Amino acid sequence: MFPELISARDLQRPIDAFVNGLVTQYSDVLRSLTQPLLDLLIWADDLLRHSPWWAIIAVVMAVAWLGSRRWRFSLAMGGLLALLGAIGLWEASMQTLSLMLVAVAFSVMLGIPVGIAMASVRWIRAVMLPILDVMQTMPSFVYLIPVVMLFNLGKLAALFATVIYAVPPVIRLTDLGIRLVDAEVLEASRAFGASRSRQLFGVQLPLALPNIMAGINQTTMMALAMVVIASMIGVRGLGYEVLQGINRLQVGRGLLAGTGIVILAIIFDRITQQFGHRQHTRGG
Amino acid sequence: MSISLPRSPRAASILSRSLLSAAFSATLAALSLVPVAAQAAGAPECELHRPMRFGGMNWESNLMLVEIERFIVKHGYGCDSEVLPTDTLLALASLERGDLDINSELWLNSTLEPWNKAKATGKVKRIGDIFMGQEAWYIPKYTAERLPGLKKASDLPKYWKDFKDPEEPSKGRFYTCPAGWACEVINGNLYKALGLEKTYTLFSPGTGATQKAALMSAYQRKQNIVFYYWSPTPLVGALDLVKLELPPYDPVKQKCLTDSDCANPQATDFPENPVFTAVNTKFTEQAPKLTAFLSKVKIPLTVENEAMAYMEKNQAEPKDTALWFLKHHQDIWTQWLPADVTQRVKAAL
């Protein structure tokens, strides 16, 4: 036995008291501050659920075509999405999709600037690396329970959980991509008198794009992996179907909903990869 | 094998701790002789030649009861025990296979169908009723004071504005059961029967942990909430709650409510939910004395609620709560045990 230097209870109690104080004093303020975020989530959810199904399939096919310029690929993506509707998961898929799109958008908006900062400033990198480790390994329920107490159950808590879990790959790969840019190329651009921002936007970012796209691709995948966790904090959608299936030992229901998640993942993965691939071929 | 050798709890615990491979068994056999020789004269001999296996279902009342029973089994009957963390349905399946000896708390209404199936195989036995669980729709006392007109569940439509759902502001929010629990179906049907579809969302909190977090947070901030919960639980024990009235219990209507395809649900109150101990049939043959003790375990609801409130308010571990119960409610547990066993347990406290 390891000798007890400080009792674990003495360590836990102040943390509990702190969280409780936070909940009673700041919860209402935090909730009203984050109301716009919640409105955005509700709007995205309404938009996807109330748009006609063919319109959504058409949009996905259009995006797929923009990424690949191949009709066959675009048709396949549309077909997969239609398959989701065919196995009775349309509404659940749309709920999941809306949360994911918002979460991925936030992750990218946060992740790329942070990645750039990490690549350019050494101490930011030193600070961020352990934070990223925490984000990727801390079991989500540990921070979700306080988040639920502060923001209530539902979409907002799920958005936090998803962003925390999904943002690290895009940060890491943006950082990596920029640092991998050849020092000689950078020096050449400096020799031609490029300013710091010209270097970044004209040279570093374009050359790092394949890596950044890979990061975005991984971020989307991670966001989808959080769908079941999101359902555990009161978000409807595919994860909720899985959870109900598991808890009632209805293997079929769980499996179908699980397949739905996989189909969404494949659609996302292939489309983002196509974008990354095109960037790569144009850039290289 | 050396498993049959130990005759004292200490020897058995040495064994269970270090029995990593059969290669050690010879050494261990030699080791186990020492405590046997040192054994005190009055110490009991366990009926089982292995640790007793408890199903550690993860809700608070069960966690406490398991620790109470383990304490008595250890100090009163000289048996080692282990707890395997699990969930109701999995625990029932393991009990049937004999991987577990006992599930201390099965809630009959929540596991009706799987339990009847398991019982039909003859491999499991229901041996004692611990208490009657209760389910209800609750509002906090401060909400009841703010809305004196709200007494019945059927009054809810008038008050939807007081329970506004932040994600759907045109409706109130009713917190139902976590996804996939049996009560989710019942609440869904009650919700239809009471005509709440137009004015309330049926909000599922996903899991028990997040449900509790959301409810506790709302209570701390004195927000109005209306929700389903069950007792005895720390939440109901520690918070000041008021039940919403439902029409009197009617078994026929209730049966329809439990069916997810119920065509014409009608509101009726929740029945009492017997909470009982289930054991593996083989275990009852191997350990008749332990079975006799376990079948007498019974805790009055008031005491159970008191224990749950103690647990919540002091953030006590299940083990500490069990000790608190054993110390403060000797009149209850001494009735479960023969005099000599009682003596030994008291001595260990």
User: Could you report the per-residue pLDDT of B35-88, keeping only the tens digit for each?
Assistant: 443 344 456 788 888 999 999 888 889 999 999 999 999 999 999 999 988 878
Greatest mean pLDDT range, A2-16, A175-189, B321-335: B321-335
Q: Is the pLDDT of residue B261 over 90?
A: no
Mean pLDDT of B281-304: 92
Contact A149 B217 (CB under 8 A): yes
Beta partners for residue B53, in sequence order = B82
Q: What is the pTM of this model?
A: 0.76
Tokens for B40, please give them. Answer: 């005190």
pLDDT at A140: 84
Residue B298's pLDDT is 92
Across the range B139-154, mean pLDDT stands at 92
Q: What is the pLDDT of residue A84?
A: 92
Asked if B221 has any chain A CB less than 8 Å from its own CB, the reply is yes
Residue A247: its chain B contacts at CB < 8 A?
178-181
Residue with tokens 């303020």: A29
- Beta-carbon separation of A232 and B216 below 8 A: no
**For a pLDDT cut of 70, what percent of chain B falls above it?**
88
**Sorting pLDDT into bands at 50, 70 and 90, what band is B5?**
very low
pLDDT for residue A276: 75
Binned at pLDDT 50, 70 and 90, residue A62 comes out as: very high
Residue A116 at interface with chain B, using a CB cutoff of 8 Å? no
| Structural contact between residues B166 and B155, judged by C-beta atoms closer than 8 angstroms | no
Between chain A and chain B, the number of residue pairs with CB atoms below 8 A apart is 83
Task: Mean pLDDT check: name the lowest of A110-119, A219-228, B19-28, B278-287.
Answer: B19-28
Tokens of A228: 């079941």
pLDDT of residue A145: 85
Q: Which tokens go with A198?
A: 């010209």
> Does position A6 have pLDDT exceeding 90, yes or no?
no
Q: Which two tokens stand for residue B107?
A: 């809630």
- Report the residue of B187, B210, B215, B321 to disrupt the A interface, i.e. the one with the largest count of A CBs within 10 Å: B210
As a whole number, the mean pLDDT across chain B is 84
Residue B316: band (very low, low, confident or very high) from pLDDT cuts 50, 70, 90: confident
Q: Which residue of B has its CA nearest to A32?
A: B166
* E strand residue ranges, chain B: 52-57, 81-86, 102-107, 124-140, 164-165, 168-175, 200-203, 226-231, 241-243, 273-280
Residue bearing the bigger pLDDT, A244 or A117:
A117
Distance between A25 CA and the closest CA of chain B, angstroms: 8
Q: Give the angle A60-A62-A63 at the CA atoms, nearest 5°.
A: 65
Closest Cα to residue B255, out of B271, B274, B244, B243? B271
Rounded-to-integer distance, Cα A159 and Cα A230, Å: 8
Provide the CB-side half-sphere exposure for B184 (13 A, CA): 18
Convert the pLDDT of each residue in A138-190 to its tens digit.
Answer: 888 888 888 888 888 888 889 988 999 999 999 999 999 999 888 888 888 88
Is there a contact between A233 and B204 if contact means CB atoms under 8 Å apart?
no
Tokens of B42: 């009055």
Query: Which of B108, B9, B94, B109 has the alpha carbon at shortest distance from B54?
Result: B94
Q: What one-character DSSP code corresponds to residue B197?
A: T
Q: At B22, is the pLDDT very low, low, confident or very high (cuts 50, 70, 90)? A: very low
Tokens 């984050």 sit on residue: A34
- The answer to whether B227 contacts chain A (CB < 8 Å) is no
Share of chain A above pLDDT 90, in %: 45
Taking CA atoms, A68 is separated from A62, A206, B14, in Å, by 10, 19, 65
Cβ-based contacts of B205 with chain A (< 8 Å): 153, 233-234
Q: Which of B83, B84, B91, B123 is nearest to B107 (CA)?
A: B91
- Number of neighbouring beta carbons within 10 Å of residue B134: 18
pLDDT given at position B16: 42
Residue B34: its pLDDT value, please? 42
Q: How confident is the model at residue B15 (pLDDT cuts 50, 70, 90)?
A: very low
Determine, for residues A152 and B179 on separate chains, whether the beta-carbon distance falls below 8 Å. no
What span, in angstroms and rounded, lies between the C-alpha atoms of A249 and A239? 15
Burial of residue B229 (number of CB atoms within 10 Å: 0-12, 13-18, 19+) = buried
ipTM higher than 0.95?
no
Helix (H, G, I), strand (E, B) or coil at A171: helix
Pick from B201, B217, B225, B260 the residue to mutate for testing the A interface (most A CBs within 10 Å): B217
How does pLDDT run across A108-152, given as a tens digit for each residue? 999 999 999 999 899 999 999 999 999 989 888 888 888 888 888
What pLDDT is recorded for position A279? 64
Residue A280: per-residue pLDDT = 61
